[in-house]
């Protein structure tokens, strides 16, 4: 069973992201939730996950710091991190991709957007020889 | 109401509509100064002052706000009557009746909505290479006093009226920045 961590300070946003993921075919996953990056890191220490979906604008530790910590951790750096944020303009997307975010989506999200994004994760394009 | 603020309200309508339609499958219509829906050929006019609850009215209105920290300073506020707050929360959670709606759930839904709308709006108003910073959304006790520079946009959804307000530097923002249609 896949395990997905959703980090967002809004419980409504976490519910909405979870529902979009379920509609996108991730209904058999185990979802763990964190209200900020600090709690997300604690949860990741306990048990790794297959995917992190995080907001950017959170109290205590924001999503950018969470992304940096995951990507700099020898144990966690391979976990794909998808950022879902209200501040996702092209410049910000570029900055976050440089920090190795797998994808950056602007709110409001829809199941279709999530589904298209995650299908790229499940079926990465074949590298040319 | 100036042409510039009417133009900003058009962009606000786009941000609000996209958010409501994507997240809660609810359509939004602009309102004219008297609270009437505008005719189809004149969607660019908006009221300058929000319609306040009548004195002594028992209807509760929620005020949510989000500070815009950069590149402009100001706030975005949304005034939503309680019946609309309940309707939006129900739609967000996919609930059929009101029995599961607590005050906390309702407030959480409203703050997430203004967070999403304000981010979408800033993306529409600013150039693509311009990053911006939002503060954390919060619920306010009541209306702040409106300033002449504030832009107040009035809309209707689910047969209820609501207002979206841009203050300080945001209220003075005009279409020189960028307006996508």
What mean pLDDT do residues B136-140 have?
90
Look up the domain containing A16 and give its range.
3-120
Domain CATH code at residue A69: 3.40.50.2300
Helix axes B3-24, B82-93, angle to 10 degrees: 40
Query: Using a CB cutoff of 8 Å and minimum separation of 24, what contacts does A64-67 make?
Result: A64/A96, A64/A99, A65/A37, A66/A7, A66/A37, A66/A40, A66/A41, A67/A96, A67/A99, A67/A100, A67/A101
Query: Any idea where the domains of chain B sit in the sequence?
Result: 3-38+45-50+66-172
d(CA B36, CA B42): 12
Question: Which is more confident, B38 or A112?
Answer: A112
What pLDDT band is residue B145 in, cutting at 50, 70 and 90? confident
What pLDDT band is residue A128 in, cutting at 50, 70 and 90? low
What mean pLDDT do residues A20-44 have?
94
pLDDT of residue A24: 87
The closest CB to that of A12, out of B19, B108, B131, belongs to B108
Largest separation between any pair of C-alpha atoms in chain A: 45
- The answer to whether the CB atoms of A10 and B19 lie below 8 A apart is no
Chain A residues with beta carbon closer than 8 angstroms to that of B18: 108
Largest separation between any pair of C-alpha atoms in chain B: 48
What pLDDT band is residue B100 in, cutting at 50, 70 and 90? confident
pLDDT of residue B47: 38
Asked if pLDDT for residue A39 goes beyond 60, the answer is yes
Among chain B residues, CA nearest to A109: B22
Domain count, chain A: 1
pLDDT over 70 percentage in chain B: 76
Residue A26, domain member (yes or no): yes
Mean pLDDT of chain B: 80
Q: According to the CATH classification, is domain B3-38+45-50+66-172 in 3.40.50.720?
A: no
How far, in Å, are A11, A71, A76, A102, B125 from residue B119 at the CA level?
A: 18, 26, 30, 21, 10
The residue among B21, B43, B20 whose CA lies nearest residue B31 is: B43
Question: Which is more confident, A76 or B40?
Answer: A76
Beta strand A51-54 pairing with A3-7 = parallel
Among chain B residues, CA nearest to A90: B128
Asked if pLDDT for residue A26 goes beyond 60, the answer is yes
Residue A91, domain member (yes or no): yes
Q: Where are the alpha helices (DSSP H) in chain B?
A: 3-24, 82-93, 103-125, 168-172
Among chain A residues, CA nearest to B23: A108
**Is B12 strand, coil or helix?**
helix
Residue A71, domain member (yes or no): yes
Q: A64-73, A108-117, B112-121: which range is least confident on average?
A: A108-117
Under DSSP, the state recorded for A22 is I
Residue A127, domain member (yes or no): no
How close, in Å, is residue A126 to chain B by CA atoms?
Answer: 31
Question: Which is more confident, B31 or B47?
Answer: B31
Q: Give strand pairing partners of B62.
A: B80
Query: Is residue A85 a contact partner of residue A65, using CB atoms and an 8 Å limit?
Result: no
The closest CB to that of B120, out of A10, A16, A108, belongs to A108
pLDDT of residue B60: 84
> Which of A108, A109, A114, A115 to mutate to test binding with chain B, by most B CBs within 10 Å of its CB?
A108
The closest CB to that of B129, out of A87, A88, A91, belongs to A91
Q: A42-51, A53-62, A71-80, B92-101: which range is least confident on average?
A: B92-101
Residue A125, domain member (yes or no): no
The closest CB to that of B116, out of A9, A59, A107, belongs to A107
pLDDT over 70 percentage in chain A: 94
What pLDDT band is residue B181 in, cutting at 50, 70 and 90? very low
Please write the tens of the pLDDT for every residue from B18-46: 999 999 999 999 986 544 444 443 433 34
């Amino acid at each position: 069973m896949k395990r997905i961590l959703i980090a967002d300070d809004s419980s409504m946003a976490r519910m909405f992201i979870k529902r979009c993921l379920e509609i996108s075919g991730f209904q058999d996953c185990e979802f763990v939730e964190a209200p900020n990056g600090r709690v997300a890191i604690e949860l990741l220490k306990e048990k790794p996950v297959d995917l992190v979906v995080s907001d950017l604008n959170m109290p205590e530790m924001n999503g950018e710091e969470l992304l940096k910590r995951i990507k700099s951790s020898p144990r966690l750096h391979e976990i794909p991190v998808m950022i879902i944020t209200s501040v996702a303009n092209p410049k910000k997307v570029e900055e976050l991709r440089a920090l190795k975010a797998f994808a950056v989506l602007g709110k409001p999200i829809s199941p279709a957007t999530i589904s298209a994004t995650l299908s790229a994760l499940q079926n990465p394009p074949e590298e040319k020889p | 109401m100036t042409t510039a603020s009417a133009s900003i309200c058009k962009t606000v309508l786009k941000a609000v509509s996209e958010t409501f339609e994507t997240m809660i499958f609810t359509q939004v219509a602009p309102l004219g100064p008297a609270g009437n829906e505008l005719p189809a050929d004149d969607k660019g006019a908006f009221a300058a002052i929000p319609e306040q609850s009548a004195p002594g009215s028992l209807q509760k209105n929620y005020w949510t706000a989000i500070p815009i920290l950069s590149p402009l300073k100001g706030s975005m506020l949304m005034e939503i009557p309680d019946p609309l707050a309940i309707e939006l929360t129900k739609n967000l959670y996919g609930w059929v009746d009101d029995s599961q709606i607590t005050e906390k759930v309702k407030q959480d839904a409203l703050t997430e909505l203004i967070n999403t709308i304000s981010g979408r709006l800033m993306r529409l108003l600013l150039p693509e290479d311009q990053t911006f910073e939002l503060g954390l959304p919060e619920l306010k006790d009541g209306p702040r006093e409106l300033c002449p520079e504030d832009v107040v946009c009035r809309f209707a959804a689910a047969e209820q009226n609501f207002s979206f307000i841009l203050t300080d530097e945001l209220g003075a923002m005009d279409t020189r920045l960028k307006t996508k249609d």
